[in-house]
A and B are shown apart, each in its own frame.
Chain A
């Protein structure tokens, strides 16, 4: 049966947060997470990642962005803190 769209969206959001936490210093711990991770911080970090990879800088987890996030890579962050 077709996967309901919001669970796919949740999955995508998880991929995005996981990636941005690992490679773009999106804060992890819960307090910082809620306080700092309002949508604007995630959008800003997402734009940083899209900029780095030469993708369309939309701030949205579009298909090309999610595809890039699934590629095997080095564990060192792309932007130093």
Chain B
């Protein structure tokens, strides 16, 4: 995080705000709700309180304006610059302006007013931009599901550096952004996708392209806004050009960016017993799909569309050398790459043995 140079801050912690005009694209009630929720993001992590006033001069004035609007920082029409805000201080200090020519929404459609407002109020309180791509104060817009939004740890650290800890006896904590070459990095799920490899972690996924050196970190919501975070298992069915993602007892089918109709479905569709309520890892190979749960695995026949008989079996008995619980697995060149904690095991499906053990982050070119 970065504090605004000169460390401007509000002397008082009980601040007022006023919405001086509204956008026609949302009802006033929706704007009020988005703004209120955006302030709650910061009050939940600090001693600050925010009260809405309807008249008079508020500390933080909120307005929808366009193009040149008299503050020497003109807006630029749809997209580009979405909004800006001023550091704490008198007059224009603390005020937040939203580009009236943007499309403001309360959904995953660009641009979600709650998320942009929460970012701008960070400036109103004394924060500058963070270089942490997962932080709220990162300069670029990135959709995150508002209903489950949690202020990232980087932003909590920033606001508390200015105003001190929250009055809440239980100090809030937030998600941290995975860094590709952190040797402790573990993965939630891994799948191939049309020649690329996607490594899922919390609300992110690393995207590795066979021809590119650098590995991209993206929000899951960037590609699939309606998917939950914390994907637990994933596999690609290359014959159907589908990727299946699992969380709890639900699963989704994706075709590229599109989530297939009528999903999520219940994993009992695969024929799991009711005792199985979540899957650790999954991988498809030729006409079979393997599901790993604790120390056992099931084998599903993609053509008969049913579980093979005599399963589950113990993982260790079939995949010798894979002794610990499997976090994630994918298939490449007749190898199963098993990931458990920060380690991966290359299991040769022809030789039926582990031929390599190394750090998981090797797959992120570290």
25 contacts between A and B (CB under 8 A): A72-B81, A72-B82, A72-B110, A72-B140, A72-B141, A73-B139, A73-B140, A74-B82, A74-B83, A74-B116, A74-B123, A74-B129, A74-B141, A75-B73, A75-B81, A75-B82, A75-B84, A76-B84, A76-B85, A76-B123, A76-B139, A78-B128, A80-B4, A80-B5, A80-B128
Q: How far is the CA of A31 from the CA of B268 in the complex (A)?
A: 71
Residues of B within 8 A of A76 (CB): 84-85, 123, 128-129, 139
Residues of B within 8 A of A75 (CB): 73, 75, 81-84
Among A38-81, those with CB < 8 Å from B are 52-54, 56, 64, 68, 71-76, 78, 80
Do residues B141 and A73 form an inter-chain contact, with CB atoms below 8 A?
yes
In the complex, the 10 A-B pairs of residues with the closest C-beta atoms, listed nearest first? A75-B84, A75-B81, A80-B5, A72-B141, A71-B140, A73-B140, A73-B139, A78-B129, A72-B79, A76-B84
Determine how close the nearest CB of chain A comes to the CB of B1; give it in whole angstroms: 13
Determine how close the nearest CB of chain B comes to the CB of A52; give it in whole angstroms: 5
* A74-B79 CB under 8 A given contacts A52-B131, A80-B5: no
Q: Identify the closest chain B residue to A72 (Cβ).
A: B141
Q: How far is the CA of A52 from the CA of B116 in the complex (A)?
A: 20
Any A CB within 8 A of the CB of B80:
yes
Q: Identify the closest chain B residue to A19 (Cβ).
A: B80
Q: How far is the CA of A36 from the CA of B141 in the complex (A)?
A: 31
Do residues A74 and B120 form an inter-chain contact, with CB atoms below 8 A?
yes
Q: How far is the CA of A80 from the CA of B129 in the complex (A)?
A: 10
- Interface residues of B, dominant DSSP: loop
Residues of B within 8 A of A78 (CB): 128-129, 139
Determine how close the nearest CB of chain B comes to the CB of A18; give it in whole angstroms: 9
Do residues A74 and B84 form an inter-chain contact, with CB atoms below 8 A?
yes
Determine how close the nearest CB of chain A comes to the CB of B191; give it in whole angstroms: 24
- B interface with A by C-beta (< 8 Å): 4-5, 73, 75, 79-85, 110-111, 116, 119-120, 123, 128-129, 131, 133, 139-141, 214
- Interface residues of A, dominant DSSP: loop
Most buried by A among B79, B81, B83, B116: B81
By size class, the interface of chain A is 10 to 19
Q: Identify the closest chain A residue to B81 (Cβ).
A: A75
Q: How far is the CA of A75 from the CA of B128 in the complex (A)?
A: 11
Determine how close the nearest CB of chain A comes to the CB of B251; give it in whole angstroms: 31
Q: How far is the CA of A53 from the CA of B142 in the complex (A)?
A: 14
Do residues A74 and B111 form an inter-chain contact, with CB atoms below 8 A?
no
4 further interface pairs, Cβ-Cβ under 8 Å (given A72-B79, A78-B129, A78-B139): A72-B141, A73-B139, A75-B82, A76-B129
